[in-house]
Amino acid sequence: MFVIVRTVFIRSRFHFWLPGIIMKQSRTASSVDMMLRLVFLLINLLNLAAPGLPLAADEYSKRDFPPGFIFGSGTSAYQEDVKLMADTGLDAYRFSISWSRLIPRIQPHVTLHHYDLPQALEDEQDFTAYANVCFREFGDRVSYWTTVNEPNAFALLGYDIGIAPPKRCSPPFKNCRKGNSSTEPYMAVHHVLLAHASVARLYRKNYQDKQHGYIGMSIFTYGLLPLTNSTEDAIATQRYNDFLVGWIANPLVYGDYPNIMKKNVGSRLPLFTYLESKQVKGSADFLGVNNYNSGYIKDNPSSLKQELRDWNADTAAEIFCQVTPSSSSLEDAARVKYLQAYIGSMLDAVRNESNTRGYFTWSFLDLFELLGGYEWSYGLYYVDRDDPGLKRYPKLSAHWYSRFLKGRSVRSVNEAFKLEKNLSTLPYGQYFQ
C-alpha cells in the first residue's frame, strides 16, 4: 500500500467539488442540493499552516523526487481549464464524478463519492453498481480510483453534528430533524468500509488486470501534538489519532477497528463478521491523506462519564485547532512559504523511505466551498466572478508551483510582493532565481 498526500492550504475543513448545476448541466438532485436548500452554508474554519512550520529541504526541485512521483491539484474545472493545467505543468488532476449526474493531457485521479449521494438513494443505494458503470465507461483513461472521500469526516459532519449532508444528528450534541449522534456515525463508516470493499473486489476481479489501475480511499487527518508534556496528553493524542485515522486505516490494513475504539464505544461500534473482515483487510492499494491543519490534544477522561456520548466524547480528548484567516489576495506569499515547507518535508520523508507516491494541492481554481461558499478561496488561480467570462488570474503560488513542476529549483519566499492587477507580465521573477 502506498500513500498519496492531498493538502488544503489553511482555512477550510470541508471543500466541495462542484459536481454541476442541476438544471443547466442535466444533473438530478443530490443530498448536497437538499442541504443547500434548507440552510445557508456554515463557515467552519480550520488552519493547516501552523505558525512556525519548520522548513525542511530549503531548496530543491522536482528532479529530487523519485521517477514517477505525481504532482497535481484538485478542483472542478471546465474544458478550457485543462490547457491551463497543462501550461502550469500538472502531472495529474484530482476530481470527483458526480454520482447524481452520471449518465489527454493530464492523468485523472477520480473520486467516486464526495458527499453528493443522490437524494433518491439516501435510504437505498447500490454503490457497487454505480462504480461498475464508472469502471466500464472511464477505466481505460483512469488509473487511480478513490472510492469514498474522507469517510470519517463524512460521518462526523453528516451524522454526528449534522452540518453536512445528510444533516442527521441528535441532542444534546446538535439539533436536527432526525438522526442519532451516538450510533449513526459508526454505522455510516462501517457501511462505507463494506461498500468500499465490495467495489474493490469488483474492480480487482473484472477490471484491474485489463486497466492496470489502483483503487483506494482518502482519510481526513490532522497534524496532532499533545497540549502539554504530560503522559496523559501524550496518550490522549494517540487515542485521538486512533479514533480519527485508525477508524478507517485499521480495518483497511488489519481488518478490524482499533482496540481503544472497541473499549470506549462498546456495543455502539458495529462488528465485522469473519468474512467482512477478510474482505475489508487489504482492500486498498493506496491511502489518500487529506491533511488540513494542526492541533493540540488535551486529555479529557470526564467525557466518558456522560450518559449520552458521541464520537467526540468517546475520544476522551479535547482538540484545540489553530485558525488562520482566509485571503483571496493574488499576493499569497504565505502560501508559497507553506508549499515550499510542506513539499520539502515530504521530500525528506521520501528520502527516509516513506512510500509516498504523489502530492495534490487544493485547489487549482478558486471555487464554491461547501461550508464556506465563495467567502474563502484556496485556488492557485483567482476566478473573477464579476467577469462574464469568469477570467482566471494566476496567484503568486501558481507561478511558484508551476516553476517547481517544470523542474526549476525553488526556495521559500520571504519578501513582500506587489502584483499588478493584470498579471499578463510578472514583476517578481527575480525572487525565484
- Is a pLDDT exceeding 80 seen at residue 406? yes
Of the ranges 100-109, 133-142, 204-213, the best mean pLDDT one: 204-213
Question: ∠ CA(24), CA(28), CA(31), 5° rounding?
Answer: 120
Q: Is the pLDDT of residue 336 over 90?
A: no
Cα distances from 185 to residues 92, 167, 312, in angstroms, run 32, 12, 11
Residue 227 has pLDDT above 50, yes or no: yes
Q: What is the pLDDT of residues 54-83, one digit of tens each?
A: 446 678 999 999 999 999 887 655 667 888
Which range has the worst mean pLDDT, 27-36, 105-114, 189-198?
Answer: 27-36
Mean pLDDT of the chain: 80
Higher pLDDT, 249 or 330: 249
Q: What is the DSSP-derived secondary structure letter of residue 3?
A: E
Given a cut of 50, whether residue 431 has pLDDT beyond it is no
pTM of the prediction?
Answer: 0.81
**Residue pair 164/115 in contact by the 8 Å Cβ criterion:** yes
Which residues are the active-site residues? 150
Confidence check: pLDDT of 116 > 50: yes
Length of the chain: 433
| Per-residue pLDDT reduced to its tens digit, 274-323 | 999 999 999 999 999 988 788 999 999 999 999 999 999 999 999 998 76
DSSP assignment letter at 192? H
| Nearest to 94, CA basis, from 142, 38, 41 | 142
Q: Are 331 and 420 in contact (CB under 8 A)?
A: no
Cα–Cα separations (whole angstroms), residue 422 to 116, 339, 391, 426 = 36, 24, 11, 9
Assigned superfamily of 2-432 = Glycosidases (3.20.20.80)
